[in-house]
């Protein structure tokens, strides 16, 4: 997994609540059997004026000029600022894959949907929860200043604005540790293989029907 320590970059707005996973990456792009290449279809139905097809070259497609990600000022953004309940809907990990592939390293919102939140960490994408009025303030600053950048320091758990204002955020220790070191959590879990086997032995005694083979 990609490590996350510090990120400083341009912030792009996605100024609506309840951004769902179908919006982040529409289902026609889920047919890929790969993990990469979804960035060009991030927010596809909002970004382009036509209907996208998987494996299509997007460079000639008509862009929706009203959609912020298409504004020159937000090109190269690495931080997405959005509203409550971001990532609701399906469990598709294609959503964080698309955000990551596009170049986002962090998403800031007042709240996230559970599965999306989880999936993000597995892909080195940092979802940051800040209070609603803080998010509102960041939106105001972002709109007022072209080239607006934020700095995120995971070790310190802070988001720093250009004027030096610092907002701290919560993250659980295990996830922080994995992100900082780019750790693969399968490897970590397998270190507990003995505990898993011991559990299985115990459980087989109590509930043998759970171990019946399906065929």
Partner 1 sequence: MAGKTLYDKLWDAHLVKQRDDGSALIYIDRHIIHEVTSPQAFEGLRLAGRKPWRLDSIVATPDHNVPTTVKERASGVAGIEDPVSRIQVQTLDDNCDEFGILEFKINDRRQGIVHVIGPETGACLPGMTIVCGDSHTATNGALGALAHGIGTSEVEHVMATQCLVAKKMKNMLIKVDGQLAAGVTAKDVVLAIIAKIGTAGGTGYAMEFGGQVFRDMSMEGRMTVCNMAIEAGARAGMVAVDDTTIDYVKGRTFAPTGEQWQAAVANWRELVSDGDAVFDKVVELDGSKIQPQVSWGTSPEMVLPVDACVPDPAQVKDPVKKAGIERALQYMGLAAGQKITDIHVDRVFIGSCTNSRIEDIRAAAAVAKGHKVAGSVIQAMVVPGSGQVKAQAEAEGLDQVLIEAGFEWREPGCSMCLAMNADKLGNGEHCASTSNRNFEGRQGYGGRTHLVSPAMAAAAAIAGHFVNVQDLKGTQA
Q: How far is the CB of 148 from partner 1 (least distance, A)?
A: 21
Question: Considering beta carbons, is residue 84 or 149 the nearer one to partner 1?
Answer: 84
The SS3 assignment for 63 reads strand
Q: How far is the CB of 67 from partner 1 (least distance, A)?
A: 13
In contact, 135 and 108? CB cutoff 8 Å: yes
Q: d(Cα 132, Cα 139) in Å, to the nearest integer?
A: 11
Nearest CA to 122 among 48, 74, 175, 58? 175
Question: Considering beta carbons, is residue 93 or 101 the nearer one to partner 1?
Answer: 93
Nearest CA to 83 among 13, 24, 26, 28? 13
Question: Considering beta carbons, is residue 78 or 90 the nearer one to partner 1?
Answer: 90
Q: How far is the CB of 164 from partner 1 (least distance, A)?
A: 28
Q: d(Cα 46, Cα 58) in Å, to the nearest integer?
A: 14
Strands in 79-82's sheet, in edge-to-edge order, are 126-129, 106-109, 79-82, 6-14, 149-153, 158-160, 166-168
Question: Considering beta carbons, is residue 5 or 53 the nearer one to partner 1?
Answer: 53
Question: Considering beta carbons, is residue 64 or 118 the nearer one to partner 1?
Answer: 118
In contact, 139 and 15? CB cutoff 8 Å: yes
Question: Considering beta carbons, is residue 72 or 212 the nearer one to partner 1?
Answer: 212
> Which residues contact residue 70 at a Cβ distance below 8 angstroms, ignoring those fewer than 6 apart?
47, 63, 64
Q: How far is the CB of 124 from partner 1 (least distance, A)?
A: 11
Tokens (6 digits) for 70: 């298409």
Q: How far is the CB of 163 from partner 1 (least distance, A)?
A: 25
- Contacting residues toward partner 1, per CB under 8 A: 16-18, 20, 22-23, 26-28, 30-35, 45, 51, 54-55, 83-85, 88-93, 96, 111, 113-115, 118-119, 122-123, 172-175, 184-186, 189-190, 192-193, 195-196, 199-200, 203, 206-215
Q: How far is the CB of 189 from partner 1 (least distance, A)?
A: 4
């Amino acid at each position: 997994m990609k490590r996350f320590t510090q990120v400083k970059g341009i912030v792009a707005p996605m100024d609506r609540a309840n951004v769902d996973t179908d919006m982040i990456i529409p289902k026609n792009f889920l047919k890929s059997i790969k993990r990469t290449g979804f960035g060009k279809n991030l927010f596809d139905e909002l970004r382009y004026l036509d209907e996208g097809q998987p494996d299509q070259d997007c460079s000639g497609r008509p862009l929706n000029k009203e959609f912020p990600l298409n504004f020159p000022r937000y090109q190269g953004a690495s931080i997405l600022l959005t509203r409550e309940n971001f990532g609701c809907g399906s469990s598709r990990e294609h959503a964080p894959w698309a955000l990551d592939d596009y170049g986002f390293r962090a998403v800031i919102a007042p709240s996230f949907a559970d599965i999306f939140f989880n999936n993000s960490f597995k892909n080195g994408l940092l979802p940051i929860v800040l209070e609603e009025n803080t998010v509102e303030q960041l939106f105001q600053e972002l709109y007022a200043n072209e080239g607006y950048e934020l700095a995120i320091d995971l070790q310190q758990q802070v988001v720093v604005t250009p004027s030096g204002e610092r907002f701290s955020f919560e993250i659980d220790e295990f996830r922080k540790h994995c992100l900082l070191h780019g750790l693969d959590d399968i490897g970590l879990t397998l270190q507990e293989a003995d505990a898993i086997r011991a559990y299985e032995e115990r459980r087989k005694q109590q509930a043998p029907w759970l171990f019946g083979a399906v065929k």
